[in-house]
Amino acid sequence: MHIDDALRARRSIRAFRPDPVPLELVREILQAATLSPSGTNIQPWKVHVAAGAVRARLEAEVLAHRESDPEDKAAEFPRSSKRKEPYTTRMRTLGKAMYGLLEIPKGDQAANWRQWGRNYQFFDAPVGLIFTIDKDLDAMSFVDLGIFAQSLMLAAAARGLGTCAQGAWNNYWTVTRRVLSIPEDEYIVFGMSLGYADETAPVNSLVAEREPVDSFASFHGF
């Protein structure tokens, strides 16, 4: 697959088929992603891959904790909940389109809560990935981690697999740390679903709008 085709094929999948993903294929995708660049080649990414009984336990225990203590949802590292324009409009536009496809009416808090919980089921994907980073690294290493994740998603798309990067996994991180035995000196940054997209699910028809180049790029000296 040409890189441009992989970029077009990649989208956030929020409904997966139960078909298993062989360990060899997961390792192949991770190996391809190791070609990602990083500042001074420190390669700061760490990935905890969960499948089978471990993935099922992670899902069950995070959802149980979420129901018993719904307010325990702060990220382990500083995150801002404040957004200004144009970011607020972009976020709301995506949310309106997605929840429309899911037939969740505006203001239905119970349905919203259930749908948000789908994150912790990896949207039924058979493989869940949790990305972590050493706590003593600076913000530039978070950039490296993002580049690695994009490489992984493109490698998956080129092999016919779907993904969804999920910031929701830096909530309820105490449970994730315990279940996956993640060391205390690592931040749980985000998760990712990996599997085969359920193309019959309406939510997977969602294509997020993208801004034109001239809205974000300034050209100097041309």
Domain that holds residue 52: 3-77+120-200
Question: Distance between CA atoms of 220 and 103, rounded to whole angstroms?
Answer: 46
User: Does 207 fall in a domain?
Assistant: no
pLDDT of residue 75: 85
Task: Pick out the chain residues at pLDDT < 70.
Answer: none
Decide if 221 is inside a domain.
Answer: no
Query: How confident is the model at residue 76, as a pLDDT?
Result: 84
Instruction: Tell me if 32 is assigned to some domain.
Output: yes
pLDDT of residue 79: 81
Is 142 buried (19+), middle (13-18) or exposed (0-12) by CB count in 10 A? middle
d(CA 92, CA 140): 28
What CATH number has the domain bearing residue 72?
3.40.109.10
Residue 94 lies in a domain: no
What is the chain's mean pLDDT, rounded? 95
- pTM for the full model? 0.95
Q: What is the pLDDT of residue 73?
A: 78
By the 8 A CB rule, do 12 and 157 touch?
no
